[in-house]
Structure 1
Amino acid sequence: MNRTNDHDERVAKLTFAGVYPHLLAKVERKGRTKDELHQVIKWLTGFNERTLQKHIKGKMSYEEFFAEAKLNPNAHLITGVICGYRVEDIENPLTQKVRYLDKLVDELARGKKMEKILRAG
């Protein structure tokens, strides 16, 4: 996928704390829980609850957020379309990680089973 540098730079500068309330609202509107959202985020990033809370309350950009994350080795199994683009075809590594998170949250909100979201079976 060919995205503009401008788009990638905007994504990099978004703060996780600024996006998090929207992610939470999306899953809760669909009957899922904050704990489930945290489970998905922790699976992708390798963060524990304490580190995740630090990011939720902080001013860290997505670039800093994912630089600190230890991406799950199965993250490459996240495939499909989000925001009109195939996540597996996104060329910018940071933008791809952000879209991985978006895709997981979307799957959670759509009611997909946690085992499938976490690529466990």
Structure 2
Amino acid sequence: MSNIYESLLPKLVAILEATQQATDGAPTQQAKQTLVHATNDFRETLKEAKEIASTLPGGELSLEEQDEVIAMLERLKERKQQQLAKFSADVEAISTTTQQLKMEVDSTASTPAS
């Protein structure tokens, strides 16, 4: 799919080069044919690219609707990052508490009975 979009610029350059050759001096039949071929090739590729773009998910949304979806997703991402940070802090706290308990148990176990 991206190959189609990547090929648009080189095909446009081919049209510009063919146009330049056709306008340099008296245009030859070959220069005209080259220009027609390059133009038709570009037109077909552009048509394909438009068809692909129109079938993309969300392509039916207006620009404003797309912006709303993006904003909603950014808020969701921020919430998830906050949840992850809280979870990480909770795990760290539990780990620290567990280590302290182990040290207390080890200390108690190694203390001789009186």
The question of a shared fold, defined as TM-score above 0.5 by the shorter chain, is answered with: no
Greater share of residues in helix: 2
Q: TM-score, normalised by structure 1?
A: 0.22
Higher relative contact order (CA 8 A, sep 6+): 1
Q: TM-score, normalised by structure 2?
A: 0.23
Q: Work out which of the two has the higher radius of gyration on C-alpha atoms and give 1 or 2.
A: 2
